[in-house]
Structure 1
């Protein structure tokens, strides 16, 4: 069970799934439903400070290199295209709703990038991401539990 929980947390940190994959994985592996929610949520929230460290330290260093800069501009444009209208128009609330949507490409990675690019205050951007992650985790958690009960009947 501990290995399954750790794997679920790694999925929750991964940009390829976030908690949208971590929570169902943990629940399907038989991890306690509340522990799965809490650990996957916490792991997903930890992405925000990691991303901010990346923006402040690593990104500034690597922007000197042409290929990295080209890739960073591409990722930044994608983040602006996905979250741009909502974050620019509604700020905190737009970012929160964008991160809360449990669809691919709408998680805390893109939310962190959008908050950074649009110059949201770091504390407000963190709060918007955390609340959005909580809502997204709750939606995924309830949907997974409901689907699991449907399959067991």
Structure 2
């Protein structure tokens, strides 16, 4: 169970799945439903400070290299297109709604980048991302539990 919980947390930190995949993985592998939610949510929350540090410190150094710059511009454009109108128009609420939608490309990674690009205050962006992650986790958690219950009936 501990190894499954650790793998679920790694999925929750990963940009490929975030907590959407982590929670589902944990529940399908028999991890306690409350531990799965709590640990995957907390792991996904850790992405914001890591990404903020990356954007503030490491990004400014790496942006000098052509291939990194090209990839960074691609990622920034995707984040702007996905969240742009909502964040520009509604600020905190737009970012929160963008992050809470449990679809690929709408999680805390894109939310952190969008908040950074649109100049949201760091505390506001963190709170919007955290609330969005929490609601997204609840939606995925309830949907997964419901599906598991439906399959067992």
CA RMSD in angstroms, aligned pairs only: 0.5
- Equivalent residue number for residue 70 of structure 1: 70
Q: Per the alignment, in what secondary structure is the counterpart of residue 120 of structure 1?
A: coil
Normalization by structure 1: what TM-score?
0.99
- With 67-76 and 98-107 compared, the bigger mean Cα shift is at 67-76
Q: CA deviation at 1:71?
A: 1.2
- Equivalent residue number for residue 41 of structure 1: 41
Gaps of 5+ in 1: none
- Equivalent residue number for residue 130 of structure 1: 130
- Equivalent residue number for residue 52 of structure 1: 52
- Equivalent residue number for residue 113 of structure 2: 113
- Give the total of aligned pairs: 153
Q: CA deviation at 1:134?
A: 0.1
Q: Deviations over 1:32-78 (max 9, x none)?
A: 00000000000000000000010111100001111111111111111
- Equivalent residue number for residue 18 of structure 1: 18
Gaps of 5+ in 2: none
Q: Per the alignment, in what secondary structure is the counterpart of residue 61 of structure 2?
A: helix
Q: Per the alignment, in what secondary structure is the counterpart of residue 35 of structure 1?
A: helix
Q: Per the alignment, in what secondary structure is the counterpart of residue 104 of structure 2?
A: coil
Structure 1 runs of 4+ aligned residues shifted over 6 Å read: none
